[in-house]
Chain A
Amino acid sequence: SQTIHQWPATLVQPVGSPLSLECTVEGTSNPNLYWYRQAAGRGLQLLFYSVGIGQISSEVPQNLSASRPQDRQFILSSKKLLLSDSGFYLCAWSARGGGVTEAFFGQGTRLTVV
């Protein structure tokens, strides 16, 4: 069966510090991968998605970047965190195929920038 791992679960970082959140998927190949952010009490905002190794599409220009060094590994990074980067970050994967909208989410990382 497929599983998705996301870590860490919580993170407190000072303003200006770097960030690296990692997500890995097991039990599937060639997944679409996604990074979402959710501010408190708000909906999910799509940050990045990837359809293959090294292929990253950004939805919202911001202080973050993403990379996909391996087929089932997706990394969210920042060189210098801002207070506005605080939020709940979720990694997800979906199988490839037109029309398929079932996504599987990790447990999320709650990031607080202080």
Chain B
Amino acid sequence: LAKTTQPISMDSYEGQEVNITCSHNNIATNDYITWYQQFPSQGPRFIIQGYKTKVTNEVASLFIPADRKSSTLSLPRVSLSDTAVYYCLVGEPLSGGYNKLTFGAGTRLAVHP
């Protein structure tokens, strides 16, 4: 089973870059790594997904080392509205190639003025 480990919480200030690292030592060859953001009383929202090296979109960057046993979500210049819980998710293939999505506890990011 591809489990993930993240810090429980992090604090930052507006304008800073935030890096959240996730460990997934048992990641399988076909697994992708996905990060979600969740605000209170809302469903999680997809942020970014990657398989290896670096992926960047308009919201964040995802760094994945060659061994793929960890990944780092990088949020540039955070604002107060980035205060949320961030989940690292690794796809868990079932028989037939389907996926069972298992979320960990997430990282609670608090951005301060």
Contacts and interface: CB of A to CB of B under 8 A. Distances in A.
Is chain B found bound to chain A in the same assembly? yes
Query: What interface size band does chain A fall in?
Result: 20 to 34
Contacts of B41: 88, 108, 110
B97 A101 contact: no
A34 B36 CA distance: 16
Nearest to B49: A102
A98 interface: yes
Contacts of A49: 100-101
Contacts, number: 85
Interface of A: prevailing SS:
strand
Interface string B81-113: 000010101110110111111111110000000
A72 to B, nearest CB: 16
Interface stretch (A12-20, A63-71, A77-85, A89-97): A89-97
A56 interface: no
Contact of B97 (A97, A102, A108): A97
A37 B32 CA distance: 23
B77 interface: no
| Pairs of residues from A and B, 5 with the lowest C-beta to C-beta distance, nearest first | A105-B43, A101-B91, A101-B34, A98-B97, A43-B105
